[in-house]
Amino acid sequence: MPFSIDGNLDGSVNPDIDFFKFTGSPGQTVKVNLQSNTFDPTLGVFDSSCILINSNDDDPAGGTSNSKLTFIIPADGIFVLAATQCCDFGFNIGGNGTYQLTLQPFQTIGSISGRLVNAVTQAALPGFPDPFATVMLQLCDPFCHVVVSEEGVDSAGRFSFTNDSLGQPLEPGDYQVFASATDYLSRQTPVFPVTAGENHDVGDIALQPPVFIGSISGRLVDAVTGRPLSGNIDPFAGVTLTYCGDSGCGFIDQAFSDSDGKFVFTSDFGGQPLRNGTYFIDAFADQYKTTSAQFDVLLDGENRVVGDLSLQSLPIRFTNKVPCKKIPKKGGSCLYSVRVTNGLATLFDGDAWSFVGASGIGSSLDFTQFQPKPTQRVLLQPGESRTVKFDFPLPSTVNDNASICAAAIVGRRPSAIWDTVAETSVFCMTKGTSGFSLMPTKDGHRMFREMESRSTHHQAKPK
């Protein structure tokens, strides 16, 4: 060895499988490759009694459909190799096409080792507990796409690879180590060669620790008047905060502004400090158009003030919200209304409808969404108002502690469902031991915003 055979399978008349008998040194480890550009090969190795020792369809390292096996020559020194087409694991069907079979002694390296450390303090990063540091070994042939093995480091941050994920010894070649730890910036080493028998130490891999900022704050104001928008009273203004990092973007927290329109974030919803990076703020208020801002907060301990975020009042306004009265536990009809006013300088021709969402109701899905009654046309001169009324039944079967919220929506004709111009929360209620009762207005607005994530009322076609 090494030894190479070029062969051809021709199964046009009879099944064609090629078998080759070899004699070698007992106990020697041998690597066999079966390659073909014309078919997907399957490789088998048998002992002298024609008992299958092992077989392979695709290279376990991945990346190709060629076959690869590593095995130890049996005690009598005799082994048989079989070449066939996928997926002939019985080695009795055969195939068609040319191939090359190669044998060579299997060489192994000693190990690949190293240590993960904090780039600032040089302290070791353990695999358990936090920050749960891990390393992944990749074979570069030529690209570093083949994951050989992955493991957590020990309590001293150290790791050592001697086998692949299937328990096979590592071969000489070009490797790369990818290191990661919770809240740290991931890092990969340069590609490095490892020769037969070598114990390769990559040394310390330093991961950059997270940088935590101090706070993010700002103020919500009316775009025309400049007056602060409060989260405690109408229009119940607030903001949602989104963070974008290495693993993508995600919701961080939500806050309602104070009586001066101010808000501040110092941690996420779980109480964890805020990391440096890119943030998005979405500012909202009842009957105002949502506005957004994007910014970077990079410095350790930085207190970022985004300033005033101006929200534009919607020209179609809702007033005189009249929720339904308290309904007994046995159920009843919920009657409610709202007044629609045209704040435009031109005639408004549109449709108004309501939308109800409820959660914790005790059904299989435990929530529902529906439109209570047909659309009502609102044809309004500048400054003109009209009251629209809605109702829906509340059955006794609704679970205790269920939450029910009703909203009103207005759209502009002729495509009102696609040209929505105004929306408001009318009320939210909950079911208790004595029946259905209204939530406090502030709590109702907060519940309404939570339910909005499930709502599809902007696309729901009014009847």
Distance CA 174, CA 277 (A): 34
Q: What is the dihedral of CA 154, 158, 160, 166, to 10 degrees?
A: 40
Alpha helices in 36-75 (DSSP H): none
> Where does residue 463 rank: exposed (0-12), middle (13-18), buried (19+ CB within 10 A)?
exposed
- Longest Cα–Cα distance of the chain, Å, equals 102
Tell whether 462 is covered by a domain. Answer: no
> How does pLDDT run across 252-273, given as a tens digit for each residue?
999 999 999 999 999 999 998 9
Tell whether 459 is covered by a domain. Answer: no
Q: Name the average pLDDT for the chain.
A: 92
> How does pLDDT run across 394-445, given as a tens digit for each residue?
999 999 999 999 999 999 999 999 999 999 999 999 999 899 999 998 888 8
Query: What six digits make up the tokens of 124?
Result: 């070791």
Distance CA 114, CA 203 (A): 5
Tell whether 458 is covered by a domain. Answer: no
Is pLDDT of 234 > 80? yes
- Distances, alpha carbon 164 to alpha carbons 112, 143, 176, 296, 395, in Å: 11, 18, 14, 41, 62
Is pLDDT of 456 > 80? no
Give the model's pLDDT for residue 380: 97
What is the average pLDDT across 371-375? Answer: 88
Q: Is the domain of 201 the same as that of 261? A: no
Query: What six digits make up the tokens of 257?
Result: 């502004």
CA angle 31, 37, 43 (to 5 degrees): 35
Query: What six digits make up the tokens of 202?
Result: 């990559």
* 32, 44 contact by CB (below 8 A): no
Q: Is the domain of 226 the same as that of 201? A: no
Q: Is the domain of 199 the same as that of 286? A: no
How far is the first Cα of the chain from the last one, in angstroms, to the nearest whole number? 81
Give the CATH number of the domain where residue 67 resides.
2.60.120.380
- Distances, alpha carbon 425 to alpha carbons 206, 316, 361, 398, in Å: 52, 14, 20, 21
Query: What six digits make up the tokens of 239?
Result: 């903001």
Angular region, 116: left φ>0, alpha ψ -120 to 50, beta rest? beta
Q: Is the domain of 70 the same as that of 168? A: no
CB atoms within 10 A of CB 290: 12
DSSP, collapsed to helix, strand or coil, labels residue 136 as: strand
Query: Which residues are registered as beta bridge partners of 35?
Result: 100
Tell whether 463 is covered by a domain. Answer: no
Give the CATH number of the domain where residue 232 resides.
2.60.40.1120
Which element (helix H / strand E) includes 435?
Answer: strand 435-438
Question: What is the edge-to-edge ordering of all strands in the sheet holding 52-56?
Answer: 18-23, 78-85, 41-46, 52-56
Distance CA 347, CA 79 (A): 92
Q: Is the domain of 293 the same as that of 229? A: yes
Q: Is the model's pTM score more than 0.75?
A: no
Tell whether 461 is covered by a domain. Answer: no
Q: Is the domain of 11 the same as that of 97? A: yes
**Best CA proximity match to 209, nearest among 303, 137, 300:** 300
CA angle 72, 76, 80 (to 5 degrees): 65
Tell whether 77 is covered by a domain. Answer: yes
Is pLDDT of 458 > 50? no
Is pLDDT of 30 > 60? yes
Picking from 207, 230, 255, the residue at the C-terminal end of a domain is 207
> How does pLDDT run across 99-155, given as a tens digit for each residue?
999 999 988 899 999 999 999 999 999 999 889 999 999 999 778 888 999 999 999
Q: Is the domain of 150 the same as that of 230? A: no
**Domain, as residue range, for 45:** 3-105
Length of the chain: 463
The count of domains in the chain is: 4
Confidence of residue 63 (pLDDT cuts 50, 70, 90): low
- Distances, alpha carbon 433 to alpha carbons 328, 335, 440, in Å: 9, 21, 18
Tell whether 440 is covered by a domain. Answer: yes
Distance CA 90, CA 67 (A): 16
Q: Is the domain of 284 the same as that of 328? A: no
Q: Is the domain of 329 the same as that of 407? A: yes
Q: Is the domain of 343 the same as that of 448? A: yes
Give the model's pLDDT for residue 407: 94
Query: What six digits make up the tokens of 446?
Result: 């907060």
Which element (helix H / strand E) includes 6?
Answer: strand 3-9
DSSP, collapsed to helix, strand or coil, labels residue 447 as: helix
Q: Is the domain of 295 the same as that of 242? A: yes
Picking from 263, 283, 313, the residue at the C-terminal end of a domain is 313
Distance CA 96, CA 154 (A): 50
Is pLDDT of 460 > 90? no
> How does pLDDT run across 425-434, given as a tens digit for each residue?
999 999 998 9
Picking from 263, 294, 313, the residue at the C-terminal end of a domain is 313
- CA 16: distance to chain centroid? 49
CA angle 405, 286, 401 (to 5 degrees): 20
Tell whether 457 is covered by a domain. Answer: no
Confidence of residue 462 (pLDDT cuts 50, 70, 90): very low
Confidence of residue 373 (pLDDT cuts 50, 70, 90): confident
Give the model's pLDDT for residue 156: 97
Q: Is the domain of 44 the same as that of 153? A: no
Give the CATH number of the domain where residue 366 resides.
2.60.40.3880
Is pLDDT of 61 > 70? no
Q: How many CA atoms, within 13 angstroms, populate the side-chain half-sphere of residue 153?
A: 31
